[in-house]
Amino acid sequence: MELYELQDEHVGAFRAKMPAAPEPNPPISQLQTTVVCRCRPFLDHDAGSFQAVTTNGPNIYVHKEVSKAGLVDTTGKVNSKKFQLHASTACENDESLYEMYVEAVVEKSKEGGAGCVLAYGQTGAGKTHTIEAMMDTMFQSGVEIVAVSCFEVRSDKVHDLLNDSEELKVLTGADGNDNVVGLKKLEAEEAGEAVKDVVTRAKALRSTASTNANDQSSRSHAFYIFFLPSGGSLTFVDLAGSENKADAKSHSESENADERLKEMKEINKSLGDLKECIRLTLVNSKGGKQQHIPFRRSVLTRLLRTSLDVSPTSAVKTTFLCHVGPTRRSLSMTINTLNYAEQMCSATNAAKEAAKFKGPEKWSPKMVASWVEKLDGGKYATLSESMHMSGKIFQTMWLNDFIKRVSAAGGTEADGNYIYDKFHDLVAESKKGNGAKKKGKKVDDVTIEIAEGKKPAQKPVSELMYGAGLSAACVENS
């Protein structure tokens, strides 16, 4: 028996002892940012390597051969390391993946919000397959789309995939978001073809090359943005894969090998910038002194900035689909991918926990505006833009001064009185909840919902879209 077969037997024994997969906690539907691992199935070229990844609900285990003094154990024993995300999936069909982890993002966009589905991971792990399958499933589900834009980020520059790969600039708007200026926005009727065909045409212009890991490896980060009748937007992002020098070498050892190595360095740099932003997002989510997150270090991170907001009040509902290969050969890249996916997941969970007990008087201006926007099912949403003040300022503001602010924004005196009273009621309720927490008592759901910017006992209303790095104001109609 071959060594890899013995190792497979030990992995099989490990799997046989695993308990049933635990349910996601909290449920996926309650998360604003969801991090999921997808492990691709074994393929013909994987023969001769043992299965190095096991998925079990939110738990992912990677297996490595036991070795001592540099010698591999000849009995096939393996060591296992555990990672934990919100969920994992191994070989489930594409339709199931869509229903479990993407459909909620689509629904957010249909309600007028912003959604983002992002595929991340090593070359050859199935990112492009997944993104294309998720878009196809969305088309088949009958989601109405009024317009589409497509572009790629290559060598830290943006190229319009619906306009002959024209190079475009990224500028920062008045709202602080980074936007692609002059991006072609193709209206559905104007296209004269199905949206799916428009996307297919765009994909054909995307840069690819052959590598040791993938015959058609993407050499750029692709963005596909769909605009819905509600005013919402849905962005699918297919990131280029992280590589090492062996991956970057062309199968044919062609004359453009130097160019390929340069591309590899540029791709890895942009992914490295993304990883650093994820790492610092985790650091900041734990409280204490806040560190600067270098979103402006690359075009990629500038455009993904709002999608990396892990706070419960984030304007964008995001699903991160991190992709890994199943074999021992790709184990180092798998561990690297899972390390950063776990950091993103931890940052999301930490931000959610911190928000549970963050009283309204400690809210940021963004959280105050979000709360007003959602109050009473969105009744006061038109006033939310005038509410960009911290919770501390709101708490200490005199009622007459607040009413003047509301009146200037087009509201009435009654509106001002109502919002003012509601906020101060929340402050009092939150202090009761925090007192219960300190005494070791269970804090009720009302306190948690208050801290997350929701109105208690009310069905959540989708947040108004104010950009996923792609402000409609900066997009030109074709």
- Token readout for 75 is 């009995």
Dist CA 240 CA 267 (whole Å): 7
User: Is 329 exposed, middle or buried, given 0-12, 13-18 or 19+ CB atoms closer than 10 A?
Assistant: middle
- Token readout for 161 is 């995939």
Dist CA 68 CA 164 (whole Å): 56
Q: Is 245 annotated as a binding residue?
A: no
Single-letter amino acid code for the residue at 143: V
Contact 232, 108 (CB under 8 A): yes
> Among 239, 252, 181, which residue's Cα sits nearest to residue 206?
239
Q: Is 124 annotated as a binding residue?
A: yes
Q: Is 128 annotated as a binding residue?
A: yes
First-to-last alpha carbon distance for the chain, in angstroms, is 63
DSSP 154: E
Q: Is 458 annotated as a binding residue?
A: no
> Among 136, 152, 144, which residue's Cα sits nearest to residue 205?
152
Q: Is 89 annotated as a binding residue?
A: no
Residue-wise DSSP of 200-254: HHHHHHS-EE--SS-TTEE-SEEEEEEE-TTS-EEEEEEPPPB--HHHHS-TT--
Q: Is 127 annotated as a binding residue?
A: yes
Q: Is 343 annotated as a binding residue?
A: no
The number of beta carbons lying within 10 Å of the beta carbon of residue 393 is: 12
Annotated binding site: 121-128
Annotated binding site for ATP: 121-128
